């Protein structure tokens, strides 16, 4: 991950990155989180919102509180409930009295397939924002943009005053998003990419990991193209006789860090399920075959 050298990592320090927006980076770097989770503080006046409070680490929470200073936190917003995004919401609520708003909690059956280890099962929102619903503070308005795919409950937040969008893990500049079934859904993910692409008013994306995206629609168009290319690659793999995900991944991800192969396998499966829904492939156990087209 040589790219890490190119980005400075001022952990536990608030940095101004745009009008109305400051960032605090959590010290949880990994192949999945890049330099760590970026918590955003929106608002410069007496009222602020905190987006993706991050992991419940004392150092990180202290840094958020220091950045907030004497302002009042009026909303703690979570884009989704992966463990690197939402666990600090509860302690931050306890310390500030602010409500937790934004994405829905996941409905987890006791032994449900959605209850995997990456999820924060303790997330309890005070208010779930529906698509298009907004919250307002002094000088700012954040609108929820429902973007399922990476997770079924993923929401982006658009800052109406400047055209910035906080994209969580839905769109990031440094990496494509992991889409892991059953909660991750490629059909939804592609629709959510298209949804962002159609928002011509957006000026910049602030993802939860990695640098800001200055040409957002161009990136999204490229990502849609990338997914279509993956799709064609998968169909080709089946054609040449690689019928299981385990056979496809080493062929398709030769150039990628092997630690990421299990996640890549989840994405391939997500594509296959999407292709199955579109009646282009069918499955017998873990073997996939092409559906003959009339």
Binding residues (CB under 5 A) for Zn ion: these are: 82, 169
β partners of residue 51: 40, 77
In whole angstroms, how close is the CB of 80 to Zn ion at the nearest point? 6
Choice between 137 and 207, CB closer to Zn ion: 207
User: In this structure, how many other beta carbons lie within 10 angstroms of the beta carbon of residue 263?
Assistant: 17
In whole angstroms, how close is the CB of 169 to Zn ion at the nearest point? 4
In whole angstroms, how close is the CB of 2 to Zn ion at the nearest point? 23
Distance CA 155, CA 157 (A): 7
| Sign of the dihedral through C-alpha 217, 86, 26, 29 | negative
Choice between 82 and 93, CB closer to Zn ion: 82
β partners of residue 49: 42, 75
Burial of 233 (0-12, 13-18, 19+ CB in 10 A): middle
In whole angstroms, how close is the CB of 76 to Zn ion at the nearest point? 17
Using CB atoms, what's the residue nearest to Zn ion?
82
CA distances from 226 to 185, 199, 220, 233 (A): 16, 20, 10, 10
Is there a contact between 108 and 119 (Cβ–Cβ < 8 Å)?
yes
Distance CA 206, CA 13 (A): 17
Question: Strand 21-25 and strand 38-42: pairing?
Answer: antiparallel
Choice between 123 and 140, CB closer to Zn ion: 123
In whole angstroms, how close is the CB of 232 to Zn ion at the nearest point? 26
Choice between 34 and 288, CB closer to Zn ion: 34
β partners of residue 165: 158, 205
In whole angstroms, how close is the CB of 33 to Zn ion at the nearest point? 9
In whole angstroms, how close is the CB of 110 to Zn ion at the nearest point? 23
Choice between 85 and 93, CB closer to Zn ion: 85
Long-range pairs for 261-268 at CB < 8 Å and ≥24 separation?
A: 263/32, 263/178, 263/180, 266/178, 266/179, 266/180, 266/181, 266/184, 267/176, 267/178, 267/179, 267/180, 267/186, 267/230, 268/230, 268/234
Choice between 48 and 88, CB closer to Zn ion: 88
CA–chain centroid gap for 192, Å, is: 11
Choice between 82 and 243, CB closer to Zn ion: 82
């Amino acid at each position: 991950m040589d790219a890490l050298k190119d980005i400075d990592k001022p952990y536990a320090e608030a940095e101004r990155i745009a009008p109305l927006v400051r960032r605090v980076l959590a010290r949880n770097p990994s192949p999945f989180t890049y330099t760590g989770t970026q918590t955003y503080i929106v608002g410069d006046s007496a009222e602020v919102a905190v987006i993706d409070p991050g992991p419940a680490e004392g150092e990180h929470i202290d840094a958020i509180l220091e950045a907030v200073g004497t302002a009042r936190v009026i909303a703690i917003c979570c884009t989704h409930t992966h463990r690197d995004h939402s666990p600090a919401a509860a302690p931050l609520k306890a310390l500030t009295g602010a409500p937790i708003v934004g994405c829905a909690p996941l409905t987890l059956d006791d032994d449900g397939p959605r209850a995997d280890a990456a999820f924060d099962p303790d997330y309890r929102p005070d208010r779930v924002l529906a698509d298009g619903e907004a919250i307002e503070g002094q000088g700012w308005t954040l609108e929820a943009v429902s973007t399922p795919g990476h997770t079924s409950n993923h929401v982006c937040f658009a800052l109406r005053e400047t055209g910035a969008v906080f994209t969580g893990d839905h769109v990031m500049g440094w990496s494509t998003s992991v889409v892991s079934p059953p909660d991750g859904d490629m059909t939804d993910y592609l629709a959510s990419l298209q949804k962002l692409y159609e928002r011509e008013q957006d000026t910049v994306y602030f993802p939860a990991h990695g640098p800001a995206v200055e040409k957002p629609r161009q990136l999204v168009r490229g990502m849609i193209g990338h997914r279509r290319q993956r799709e064609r690659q998968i169909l080709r793999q089946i054609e040449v006789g690689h019928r299981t995900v385990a056979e496809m991944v080493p062929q398709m991800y030769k150039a990628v860090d092997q630690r990421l192969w299990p996640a890549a396998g989840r994405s391939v499966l997500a594509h296959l399920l999407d292709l199955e829904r579109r009646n282009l492939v069918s499955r017998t156990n873990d073997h996939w075959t092409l559906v003959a087209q009339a």
